[in-house]
Amino acid sequence: MKRFTAVLATAAALSGLGVAGATAATAQPTGPSGPSNCVDGFPGILNTRLCASVTGNQVTFGGYATPASVSWTPQKVSFNLTAQVVGGAVIGSDSPNVFIPFGGIPVGNVSGTAPCGSSVMATFNVTQWGWPPSTATVTVPVTC
């Protein structure tokens, strides 16, 4: 009976670790001085993630790309990241050509200011010729 109880306790501990690991993996990253809102793009050859951080009227957008397959061959890939005030001015854009390793890497960064009370939107996508698109779009309020 003690052995059965020990097995159950070990299984519970491992399950708890699995839950904690899943929570850590899905927790949203934080920006320099505030929480981020992150959105995953549609799966493609690369998985894309776009995060927005708003502090006051300062907004920052950053992309992240991770290979979708274990058979990925590290290579340079073209991307586009654009941000704008919804219904208003363009905040900025970045079109990097980045070497993507096995584990993934941050790709692109756009930051600027937006009027208090507005919303900002950004789109991050793979623009590699011949590849299916993998696009992530996020819209967040600027509440100040």
Q: Where are the domains positioned within the chain?
A: 1-28, 31-141
* pLDDT at position 43: 78
For residue 57, the 8-state DSSP code is T
Are 126 and 50 a contacting pair, CB within 8 Å? no
What distance in Å separates the CA atoms of residue 136 and residue 122, rounded to the nearest whole number? 8
pLDDT confidence band for 137 (50 / 70 / 90): very high
Q: How does pLDDT run across 97-136, given as a tens digit for each residue?
A: 999 999 999 999 999 999 999 999 999 999 998 888 789 9
CA–CA separation, 119 and 85 (whole Å): 6
Q: What is the pLDDT of residue 42?
A: 80
Residue-averaged pLDDT of the chain: 79
At 19-70, the pLDDT tens digits run: 222 222 233 333 334 456 999 998 788 999 999 999 999 999 999 999 999 9
Among 2.40.70.10, 3.40.225.10, 3.30.2420.10, 2.60.40.2420, what is the CATH number of 31-141? 2.60.40.2420
pLDDT band at 91; cut points 50, 70, 90: very high
C-alpha span between 54 and 120 (Å, rounded): 9
124 token code pair: 């991050």
- Which tokens go with 9? 């306790």
Given a contact cutoff of 8 angstroms between Cβ atoms, the answer to whether 122 and 89 are in contact is: no
Task: Quote the pLDDT of residue 36.
Answer: 65
The reported pTM is 0.73
The tokens describing 39, both together, are: 């959105």
Alpha carbon distance 144, 62 (integer Å) = 20
Distance CA 142, CA 55 (A): 8
Mean pLDDT of 85-99: 96
